[in-house]
Amino acid sequence: MEATIQAEPAASPFEQARQAVAAVEREEAEARHGLALLDWQEEQLCAAVRRGVEKAAKREEMARQKAEQWRVVREVRERLHAARRSYEELQRHAVELQYAIRREERAVAQWQRQVKNTEEQLARWQRLLAEAQSRLEQAQRELGRLTGFAAGPVP
């Protein structure tokens, strides 16, 4: 028996994995039910044999069916374990991503604060530079007025 996933796609890989686990769990339950039914039938057959009804061929067929059903149950269990591991790995990965996102959000906030502080420092320096240039130009004009020479820009 194979797990059948509905044709309608899930919203996310996380939801798809959850649905895959649920589908394989349902399949395991069906396989176990089939095994329980065969156990019951075997008990009924054993009772009939004890009452003297010869059902050896039927019993052998049931033993074969039971062995086959056990094989199916083991196979489904293996797929269930694989689906659960996949689902759990997806959950772990989602948690790791959440931690990484929080780390990066903090880093981005820190860099934004540093950029803001640098921009504020640059604005202060630009203001101080403008004031110094203004004082320089005023002093050059004053010197030129006093000496009669126009002073050129000072490097």
- Burial class of residue 31 (count of CB atoms within 10 Å of its CB; 0-12, 13-18, 19+): buried
Q: Is the pLDDT of residue 2 over 50?
A: no
Q: Output the pLDDT for position 22.
A: 92
Report residue 69's pLDDT band, with 50, 70 and 90 as the boundaries: very high
Report residue 155's pLDDT band, with 50, 70 and 90 as the boundaries: low
Task: Write down the pTM of the prediction.
Answer: 0.52
Mean pLDDT of 111-122: 97
- CA distances to 58, 95, 98, 129 from 102, in Å: 65, 11, 6, 40
Angle between helices 13-50 and 56-147 (to 10 degrees): 170
Tracing tokens 């199916």 back to the chain, one arrives at: 72
Question: What is the rounded distance in angstroms from the CA atom of residue 140 to the CA atom of residue 148?
Answer: 11
Average pLDDT, the chain: 87
